Structure 1
């Protein structure tokens, strides 16, 4: 590794460490409020995803997913550029913990309040989207698309859901990591697009996005009128497995654990080990 590359790795690690530290030491109410915004931003991004993938018809599967992934990247752009607090990037605070700048209790307390704030933001958007009748767009096909996406998410095996969560947050955190090299908002936004597009188009699982998407499917299955289902020639009973318990135990718990492993352990602590090794080598010379 060249000296310039070593310096670059160390600089990005130091920025990531400060990034995680700054999240933990924010006042609890500020952190919570910004987390509510982040949950809402990610929910809006999923609305965009459903918009652009509904009615795709015979379009190539991969291209539809790519366009949907690029649309969803708006969510992480809003989070990073507007300074909101998203659980899946907050787990990078493991670097600050590894450097003993924060305690385990401080780190976990931050994770809990951000997670809860994200949940509230996602549910607020759920109420607004349902009240707006978005599920009736395109003759109800928008809502049917949302139902199928939500139903698919609760039918992974537990291990599969967790691994999909690992892969997702590796890409989210690597995207955020790349923004540390950006000098302006436009550069940081552009750097986020492809990592996010890849995780979305590949079907990887993001716990906060799922806090909106699966409850949206549950809400449509429970509260859409009978004419919604009759127009689409489907029955409400086809989506009877969309329940809160199935969501929590078959998706949210394993995906959340996977997100922590992918972002906090593999990316965060992985780079911390590299930084320490590089620093040790320099000191020995």
Structure 2
């Protein structure tokens, strides 16, 4: 149906249709491209984490101001992923909508998630190495490096159940940011829809698995008393929480609201079923 105003945002129902299309496209990306785009996304999120750390290193800011400004800085990561183009594991949890509708297979979803998550880790950890080599941690008389270590230590000490639920809440907001960005028709639209949810999850202290893939390697390079086991103890529940929040509480909820109900009303089976 033609729209009266080509500058209007897409409606939520139209966004659901766009997400289905994006699921099919993402499921078919060749392995090399998928891996390289995943590494870019890991590095982009690492840059957002770098900005957060820079703000957190300023002892003159109050708690709320530090969290809000840090969240605003972290938004750079998802803006880069969305506008420049990259494959981010947490955002790709929306592939669960295509899987539920039958237009993307279980194998395709798992392939995307495993490859992208692994590539995100390479990109995030690789950026951490570059940041360490650059001497960035020495800024503000070493306060930036101390902030990076402090952030990673706090994450390493999180109880696993708490890390899981922080991961759930984080990816609800991240996937809502991706969902709303698909409503936009311009770069300005996309940036504005991304900034508020991302700032909110960072300010609230929720856990983003890919950001943590930057924080832990950097802190270890800076001599923090943490190791691979501490990183794994955080990443396993956070990744599980991110999956639950993005795929279940966003993708599958919107699937039921806009796609499944639509099939029932039209009398047509979901794509791929009954064939």
Match of 1:226 in 2: none
Partner secondary structure for residue 90 of structure 2: helix
Partner secondary structure for residue 93 of structure 2: helix
- In the TM superposition, what is the alpha-carbon distance from 1:276 to its structure 2 partner? 3.8
Residues 174-185 of structure 1: pairs in structure 2 closer than 5 A: 174-185=176-187
Partner secondary structure for residue 140 of structure 2: helix
Residues 94-113 of structure 1: pairs in structure 2 closer than 5 A: 94-113=96-115
C-alpha contact (below 8 Å) 1:87/1:114 kept by paired residues: yes
- In the TM superposition, what is the alpha-carbon distance from 1:277 to its structure 2 partner? 5.0
How many residues align? The count is: 258
Match of 2:124 in 1: 122
C-alpha contact (below 8 Å) 1:20/1:91 kept by paired residues: no
CA distance, structure 1, for counterparts of residue 140 and residue 259 of structure 2? 54
CA distance, structure 2, for counterparts of residue 112 and residue 15 of structure 1? 23
Match of 2:231 in 1: 247
- Deviates further, 255-264 or 41-50: 41-50
For structure 1, the residue ranges without an aligned partner over 5 or more in a row are 1-6, 222-238
- In the TM superposition, what is the alpha-carbon distance from 1:202 to its structure 2 partner? 0.6
Cα RMSD for the two superposed structures? 1.4
Residues 11-50 of structure 1: pairs in structure 2 closer than 5 A: 11-50=14-53
C-alpha contact (below 8 Å) 1:165/1:255 kept by paired residues: yes
Residues 89-238 of structure 1: pairs in structure 2 closer than 5 A: 89-221=91-223
Match of 2:255 in 1: 272
- In the TM superposition, what is the alpha-carbon distance from 1:120 to its structure 2 partner? 0.8
CA distance, structure 1, for counterparts of residue 127 and residue 160 of structure 2? 27
* TM-score, normalised by the number of residues in structure 1: 0.87
- In the TM superposition, what is the alpha-carbon distance from 1:196 to its structure 2 partner? 0.3
- In the TM superposition, what is the alpha-carbon distance from 1:156 to its structure 2 partner? 1.2
CA distance, structure 2, for counterparts of residue 138 and residue 8 of structure 1? 46
* TM-score, normalised by the number of residues in structure 2: 0.90
Match of 2:63 in 1: 61
Structure 1 stretches of at least 4 aligned residues deviating more than 4 Å after TM superposition: none
Residues 3-35 of structure 1, C-alpha deviations (whole Å, 9 max, x = no match)? xxxx93321111111122211111111111111
For structure 2, the residue ranges without an aligned partner over 5 or more in a row are 1-9, 268-275
CA distance, structure 1, for counterparts of residue 21 and residue 105 of structure 2? 15
CA distance, structure 2, for counterparts of residue 187 and residue 280 of structure 1? 30
